[in-house]
Chain A
């Protein structure tokens, strides 16, 4: 198992957000995570990469032990070139002396980063400032940065929510391809349609738990309707 989550719990100020979430993603697998707003999808991913501290549960990440993360708001440094942004993916394994400025990055790293950019189809934009690229291109640069991190697990939190349909299609297809290359990829999506067409498995989060975990073919419309149904708020009877 490349990503293994068992019994993940997390509460904010006493309000339970994750109430025992289990998730497994194998190498070569592309898993889509669906769920209503506030269902805890981001929290789960943030627990895996250490941006939130889980209250309980077991998380293990294969390979380097560190999952790569792709964000909805992309979080590139817009003033730096696409290539420099990708190189930053390797910061964790660079000696401090070679990492304080992009000018110091080793040549081998720049070549590796170039290969990552090529993998996402943006080698020709390497020298451009990241901020100049379109949203879809920026998200692909962010994915290249994740590749340059050499992680075997890639998480993506709503990577396409800010993209137009065709850019979204392209990015999700890319994630699917990366999984096919042997990575374990989990992406939070708000487009059940994209999930159904590309994912190997679809996981639904509701009420802090996994509501379903199924192959797209077996996913019914009723499952989805239940997932996004407004939570029934029980008002006190007067």
Chain B
């Protein structure tokens, strides 16, 4: 009897599907380039404008009473909007995440409905929510908090639901087998096992929300975004530079602290 070693499969070139996907990606990029008036030439000829701008911005105006003090206080407001926008969304995000996670939901209907609620909240940008709430509660930080809460429920709820779906099914099975109800299984198997991931995602969202809160300030939610907007309108780029420095410190601080907590939990 002769045994022949099977020949290795032949290497094949890219499939027609790969070629058409590549072509499509190129076409879409060409259209996008045209649609956004991309013009490296304008950037090259306009460098003088940027230089003037920087010249005005430097050195930053660090006067405590008129600039730095108010700037720090406003940064506090910006942080507070981001913080409340994150923490007030926790109970709602948690409830929806449990219902929208295949491992913990009550049935296909509940699952679909809660998924849809989450994707709706996620797909409406927080700025749009903010503009809507401004008509109800007026300009100010409160509208910003409400906007962040709604959008964050959508995003964090989805992330949490996914974390729960990816959690180890073992402890869940163990409790199901001994007669625990669905709620008990969530409380004693799912949540404690995914707790570090949930906190990690929460801190990540806090990070993002503090930055979003800055943008909401630009459209009237108060905080340091509002001051930046004002200084631009008054052509006080030296004051704007101070505000931006403060923002930088705030963002880096939040990022560092949340990173440290995450690492401690892991």
A88–B180 contact, CB under 8 A? yes
Assess whether A190 is interfacial by the CB under 8 Å rule: no
User: Is B171 a contact of A91 with CB atoms below 8 Å?
Assistant: no
Point out the residues of chain A lying under 8 angstroms from B73, CB to CB: none
- Asked if B195 contacts A96 (CB within 8 A), the reply is no
* Contact across chains for A77 and B188 when beta carbons are under 8 A apart: yes
Residues on B with beta carbons closer than 8 Å to the beta carbon of A145: 174, 178
* Contact status B192-A66, CB under 8 Å: no
Interface residue B43 (Cβ < 8 Å from any Cβ of A): no
> A-facing mask of B171-206, CB < 8 A → 1, else 0?
101111111110110011100110100000000000
Contact, CB under 8 Å: B174 / A91: no
Cα–Cα distance between A119 and B168 once the two chains are bound (Å) = 28
Q: How far is the CB of B264 from chain A (nearest CB, A)?
A: 14
Interface size classification for chain A: 20 to 34
The interface residues of chain A lying within 8 Å CB-to-CB of B183 are 96, 100
Total number of B residues with any Cβ neighbor in A under 8 Å: 20
Give the interface centre of B175, B176, B180, B188 by most chain A CB atoms within 10 Å: B188
- Distance in Å: Cβ of B106 to nearest Cβ of chain A: 15
- B170, CB-defined interface residue at 8 Å: yes
Q: Which of B171, B178, B187, B195 contacts A99 (CB 8 A)?
A: B187
- Contact assessment for B189 and A93 in the assembled complex, using a CB-CB cutoff below 8 Å: no
Complex interface: chain A residues within 8 A of B176 (CB): 50-51
Cβ-closest chain A residue relative to B180 = A91
Name the residue of chain A whose CB is nearest to the CB of B193: A77
Output the least CB separation between A39 and chain B (Å).
Answer: 21
| Residue in B168, B174, B187, B192 with the greatest tally of chain A CB atoms within 10 Å | B174
In angstroms, Cα B5 to Cα A15, docked, is 31
Residues of B within 8 A of A149 (CB): 178-179
Residues of A within 8 A of B195 (CB): 79
- Contact status B187-A66, CB under 8 Å: no
- A71 interfacial contact with B, CB 8 Å: yes
Chain A residue at minimal CB-CB distance from B172: A75
B170, A51: Cβ atoms closer than 8 Å: no
Chain A residues contacting B178 (CB-CB under 8 Å) are 66, 68-69, 88-89, 91-92, 145-146, 149, 151
B contact residues around A74 at 8 Å (CB): 170
A residues near B181, Cβ cutoff 8 Å: 91, 96
Complex Cα gap A75–B189 (Å): 9
In whole angstroms, what is the CA distance A91 to B170 when docked? 16
Nearest-neighbour CB distance to chain B for A48, whole angstroms, equals: 10
Say whether B184 contacts A75, CB under 8 Å: no
> Please, how many angstroms separate the alpha-carbon atoms of A80 and B195 in the complex?
11
Q: Which B residues lie within 8 Å of A102 (CB)?
A: 188
The distance in angstroms between the C-alpha atoms of A151 and B175, with both chains bound, is 14
Given the complex, which residues of B lie within 8 Å of A146, measured CB to CB? 178
What is the bound-complex CA distance between A146 and B175, given in angstroms?
Answer: 10
Contact of B192 among A49, A79, A93 (CB under 8 A): A79
| Distance of A225 from chain B, by nearest CB (Å) | 29
- Which residues in B have their C-beta under 8 angstroms from that of A94? 184
Q: Which of A50, A51, A91 contacts B188 (CB 8 A)?
A: A91
Partner of B171, one of A49, A68, A77, A100: A77
Q: Are A100 and B174 in contact (CB under 8 A)?
A: no
A102 to B189 Cα, complex, angstroms: 12
B180 surroundings in chain A (CB, below 8 A): 88, 91-92
Cα(A75)–Cα(B168), bound, Å: 9
Question: Which residue numbers of B lie inside 8 Å of A, CB to CB?
Answer: 168, 170-171, 173-181, 183-184, 187-189, 192-193, 195
Given A69-B177, A79-B195, A92-B179, 17 more A-B residue pairs with CB atoms under 8 Å apart are A49-B177, A50-B176, A51-B173, A68-B178, A71-B174, A74-B170, A77-B188, A80-B188, A88-B175, A89-B178, A91-B178, A91-B181, A92-B180, A96-B184, A99-B184, A100-B183, A142-B174
Identify the 5 closest CB pairs spanning chains A and B, nearest first.
A92-B179, A75-B170, A91-B180, A75-B174, A49-B177
Return 11 A-B CB contacts under 8 Å, by A number. A50-B177, A51-B177, A68-B177, A73-B170, A77-B193, A79-B193, A80-B188, A89-B178, A91-B178, A91-B180, A96-B183
